[in-house]
Amino acid sequence: MAQLENIDIRDILPHRFPMLLVDRIVEIGEGSIVGIKNVTANEPFFQGHFPEYPVMPGVLIIEAMAQVGGILVLRELEDRKTKLVLFAAIEEAKFRRPVLPGDVLRMELKTLKRKATIVKMQGTATVDGNVVAEAVVMCKVVDLPAKGEAPKE
């Protein structure tokens, strides 16, 4: 199984700090991927969510899962530098436990369906083997727009 370090991830995903939420890919298989996010106390979102009891926002956990899935999708495209992966849907999102500073968030995604430009994946996020979140995420691959333009379907 292949692994990717942060520099490899930045070569695949267009996200950058503070929105790059994947630190490492530890497994990539046929239609599946496992990524890691090391959650640290200095994450910018902890300044306001919540200063006295820092909790990683659920929407960012889902975003981190989607980024891991985006790596799986983009890695398989030869022309990935000309493509963008956008959220199309989030279904069945459930949050089981809070994610706190110091946690290592492990995100596992498996492809459920894949059509020409649409991919549907089941995602599970765990900390120390305990499920913290799960969701079905769907993304759409679009052509990378020119600077200043909106993505086109």
Within-domain flag for 148: no
pLDDT of residue 120: 98
Residue 70 Rama label (left phi>0; alpha psi -120 to 50; beta): alpha
Catalytic residue selected from 10, 49, 97, 120: 49
Q: What is the DSSP letter of 57?
A: -
Range of the domain at 36: 6-143
Within-domain flag for 149: no
Within-domain flag for 68: yes
Within-domain flag for 152: no
Q: pLDDT tens digit string along 81-125? A: 899 999 999 999 999 999 999 999 999 999 999 998 999 999 999
pLDDT of residue 1: 62
Q: What is the DSSP letter of 147?
A: T
Mean pLDDT of the chain: 95
Within-domain flag for 137: yes
Count structural domains, the chain. Answer: 1
Q: pLDDT tens digit string along 130-150? A: 999 999 999 999 998 888 888
Residues with Cβ within 8 Å of residue 53, at least 6 apart in sequence:
none
Residue 153 has pLDDT above 80, yes or no: no
Please, where are the H alpha helices in 40-100?
A: 58-75
- Say what the pTM is: 0.94
Within-domain flag for 93: yes
Within-domain flag for 92: yes
Reduced to 3 states, what is the DSSP secondary structure of residue 47? helix
CATH code where residue 41 lies: 3.10.129.10
In the residue annotation, 15 being an active-site residue is answered as no
Within-domain flag for 151: no
